[in-house]
Amino acid sequence: MLSFFLRISPKFLNKFTYKCFHNLLFHWVKMRKKVVLQNLGKAFPNKSEEWYHNMASNCYKFAIKDFLDFIAFPKYFKHKELNFHNLDILDNALKKNKGVIFVSGHFGNFEKMFYGLANKGYDICGVAKKQKRGDQFFREIRENYMKRQIYKGDSNSGLKNALNNNEILILLSDQDSKKKGKVVNFFGIPSSTPSGAAILNKRMGSPIICFSIVNNGNQYDVNFKEINPNNNLSIDEVVQAYTLEIEKTIQKNPEQYFWFHKRWKTSHS
């Protein structure tokens, strides 16, 4: 019902809806507010209390709008607003015919970028965690621009098949990965980090590319960077390399990062 309302309502009414959700979740329910403030404190020490409060508020605003835009698909998915820089990096990687491992974090309006790439003719395959509620609804939206969606925990054959078919395999690799992850520095803090992208890169020789999408007002700027192009880094070094790229992007626009995850849940002290 909310999705239908957002698709048919005028823009000014949707803006009012965004504000209502922000007030509800940030000021009243305070959903994960403590986690957000703790994460910001660890990533950006020595900031003022006012800075933390304002940044947390802006994070809520960004995340709420991004999510509501997503469930209003396709209303706000205008690929003409996407400005793709250095797209040749992705094209050259695909010419190797080994697929591409697409790596980033929960930063920016990445679903809109996937939609834009699909409209340019790229085959995209995403890996996602199965949701307890609304999974079919989210999956049906993504099937408009993803060739397929693979759930975390499924057989690795799905990942390998995507790469063997020369598809772009999306792996968001910025959440705490408990004991399974590689411990690398993220904002100077030893952090358990998903290593699946690095392992596939070493085992299959598939190029690994870090992507970022930054919302600059009415335009989205998309950038790409290949990690380990000479295939001479160890798995640990590859994980550290793409984690650093994610961090660099967040440093410039911290309000566009999803700080709601318990990123440093696993202690390595």
Q: Alpha-carbon distance 191 to 178, whole Å?
A: 9
Summarize pLDDT for 22-47 with one digit per residue, the tens: 999 999 999 999 999 999 999 999 99
State the pLDDT confidence band at 263, using cuts at 50, 70 and 90.
very high
190: pLDDT strictly greater than 90 = yes
- In this structure, of 29-38, 94-103, 130-139, 220-229, the range with the lowest mean pLDDT score is 130-139
State the pLDDT confidence band at 148, using cuts at 50, 70 and 90.
confident
Q: What is the pLDDT of residue 155?
A: 64
State the pLDDT confidence band at 128, using cuts at 50, 70 and 90.
confident
Report the share of the chain in percent with pLDDT over 90. 88
Region label for 70, one of left (φ > 0), alpha (ψ between -120 and 50) or beta (otherwise): alpha
pTM for the whole structure: 0.94
Cβ proximity of 37 and 56 under 8 Å: yes
Query: Beta strand pairing status for 82-84 and 148-151?
Result: unpaired
Q: What is the pLDDT of residue 83?
A: 96
Q: Alpha-carbon distance 133 to 218, whole Å?
A: 32
